[in-house]
Amino acid sequence: MKNILVINTGSSSFKFQLIQMPTEEVLASGLVERIGQENSEIHYSSEGFSGTKEKEVANHSVALKAVTNLLMDPEKGVIKDASEIAAIGHRVVHGGTTFSKTTIIDEKVKKEIKSLFSLAPLHNPPNLTGIEVAEEVFPKAQQVAVFDTAFHSSIPKKAYKYAIPNKLTEEKNIRLYGFHGTSHKYVSEQAARILDKSDSKIISVHLGNGCSITAVENGKSIDHSMGFTPLSGLIMGTRSGDIDPSVIFHLVEKLDYTIEEVNELLTKKSGMLGLTGYSDLRDIEAEAQKGNRECQLALEMNVYRIKKYIGSYAAAMNGLDVLIFTAGIGENSSTMRKLVCDNMDFFGIELDEEKNNTRSKENREISTKSSKVKVMVIPTNEELEIAKQVQELVS
């Protein structure tokens, strides 16, 4: 038996699970959300205890140290000493062309992760912070990196290559990489298992503060909405998603923005935050219900973009068997799921509203019996998927 601590650091959140392998028993789990905001919350649960604490969490380093204290707390904790953790699996967003599989972390790996900061500015920096803090707190544990980009290594050249001079792809590795791969891999495999059908045509919609959508055919990723970085694709919490590149030139040449300011604008000040003043969908939905037109329009824009991708991926696969909703918004927002599935009968998508409005943490089907496409809500479990990959590597 090995205790594996899985650290999943998002752009504004920090999820963790301490999992005993190979039994897959979760000894403790939790979430630190709204990091960097005044209303940060720490959720923690272990056997016999579950609670939430409001506490200002300035950054991801503070978050990890708070979690570590809980794991070793005399009353709430599940371990007495850091040496009881054999390995730590770190979710790392961007692996570039260097990393296409799970990798043991050393100084060279950390240096390469740092070199990719510019490609995933909201994620790779906190990912590396998590690694460095974990090395301090758990010096005897094996540190392992699991890369979001790995699942998308199966995307064919016709889909990952940009229509730019060939040498930029071949020599500078400018291409589509894809992200949220651990999540898309887990939920698509869950759907295939439930359906007992490995040759399914699946569209996986991962909706959180970061949002992405993947076409999965016969268990392999064949296209994905994010590209060279996690900036493109769907409208996200603070990221713009798809935008005409000429807008960047206009901002720099005509409006006197610096390149750094444009990067800040598109990654941290756009998306739902730029449209509404809020980055959290819960706030936006609440304001929309009150009649806030900016929030209503932002939801419409968000849904419209998702529908366009569903249509294009259904065309690319020449069909669709399953539509999956996952991640924080996808699993919990019945409103978003309904808006996405409305007026999609051309694709054979019919939502059962009663099933959609039923809250559950289990895998579930929310389409009608007559729906040609099965619509499912599958809670992502990136942590378990990471623990499995870590176990395979260090066992």
Whether 273 and 355 map to the same domain: the answer is yes
Rounded CA separation 107/383 (Å): 24
Whether 135 and 202 map to the same domain: the answer is no
Mean pLDDT of 55-76: 86
Whether 68 and 205 map to the same domain: the answer is no
Tell whether omega for the bond before 74 is within 30 degrees of 0, i.e. cis: no
Structure confidence at residue 189 (pLDDT): 93
H or E stretch including 322?
A: strand 322-326
Residue 91, marked binder = yes
- Asked if 183 and 380 count as a contact pair (C-beta separation under 8 A), the reply is yes
Structure confidence at residue 165 (pLDDT): 98
Whether 270 and 362 map to the same domain: the answer is yes
Structure confidence at residue 245 (pLDDT): 96
> Which among 132, 147, 162 is the end of a domain?
147
- What is the per-residue pLDDT across 216-262, written as a single tens digit (0 to 9) for each? 999 999 999 999 988 999 999 999 999 999 999 999 999 999 999 99
Whether 143 and 252 map to the same domain: the answer is no
Task: Please report, for the domain that includes residue 38, its CATH number.
Answer: 3.30.420.40
Whether 207 and 356 map to the same domain: the answer is yes
Average pLDDT of the chain is 93
What percent of the chain lies above the pLDDT cut of 70?
100
Residue 209, marked binder = yes
Nearby residues of 110 by Cβ (< 8 Å), 6 or more positions away: 128, 131, 132
Question: 333 lies in a domain?
Answer: yes
More confident of the two residues 76 and 10: 76
The string of DSSP codes covering 81-123 is SGGG--EEEEEES--TTT-SS-EE--HHHHHHHHHTGGGSTTT
Among residues 238, 288, 253, the alpha carbon closest in space to that of 35 is found at: 238
Residues 157-196 as b or e (16 or more Cβ within 10 Å = b): eebbeeeeeeeebeeeeebbbbbbbbbbbbbbbbbbeeee
Residue 35 has pLDDT above 90, yes or no: no
Whether 127 and 223 map to the same domain: the answer is no
Residue 206, marked binder = yes
> Which among 85, 120, 147 is the end of a domain?
147
Residue 341 belongs to domain spanning = 196-377
Question: 174 lies in a domain?
Answer: no
Question: 210 lies in a domain?
Answer: yes
Rounded CA separation 26/45 (Å): 10
One of 148, 196, 223, 283 is an active-site residue; which one? Answer: 148
Whether 217 and 317 map to the same domain: the answer is yes
Residue 34, marked binder = no
Q: How many residues are given for the chain?
A: 395
Question: 255 lies in a domain?
Answer: yes
Mean pLDDT of 364-388: 94
Residue 47 has pLDDT above 90, yes or no: no
Residue 181, marked binder = no
Among residues 203, 197, 215, the alpha carbon closest in space to that of 373 is found at: 203
Count structural domains, the chain.
2
Whether 110 and 220 map to the same domain: the answer is no
Question: 129 lies in a domain?
Answer: yes
Nearby residues of 143 by Cβ (< 8 Å), 6 or more positions away: 87, 88, 90, 104, 105, 131, 134, 135
Rounded CA separation 215/212 (Å): 10
- What is the per-residue pLDDT across 84-122, written as a single tens digit (0 to 9) for each? 999 999 999 888 888 888 999 999 999 999 998 888 787
More confident of the two residues 264 and 126: 264
Give the number of other CB atoms < 10 A from CB of residue 393.
Answer: 16
Is residue 81 annotated as a catalytic residue, yes or no? no
More confident of the two residues 150 and 205: 205
Residue 377 has pLDDT above 80, yes or no: yes
Whether 118 and 227 map to the same domain: the answer is no
Residue 346 has pLDDT above 90, yes or no: yes
Residue 332, marked binder = yes
Residue 49 has pLDDT above 90, yes or no: no
Structure confidence at residue 379 (pLDDT): 95
> Which among 115, 147, 179 is the end of a domain?
147
pLDDT band at 29 (very low <50, low <70, confident <90, very high): very high
Residue 66 has pLDDT above 80, yes or no: yes
pLDDT band at 48 (very low <50, low <70, confident <90, very high): confident
* The two structure tokens encoding residue 140: 């005897």
Whether 140 and 246 map to the same domain: the answer is no
Q: pTM here?
A: 0.84
3-state secondary structure of 46: strand
Whether 102 and 202 map to the same domain: the answer is no
Q: What angle do CA 325, 210, 287 make, to 5 degrees?
A: 80
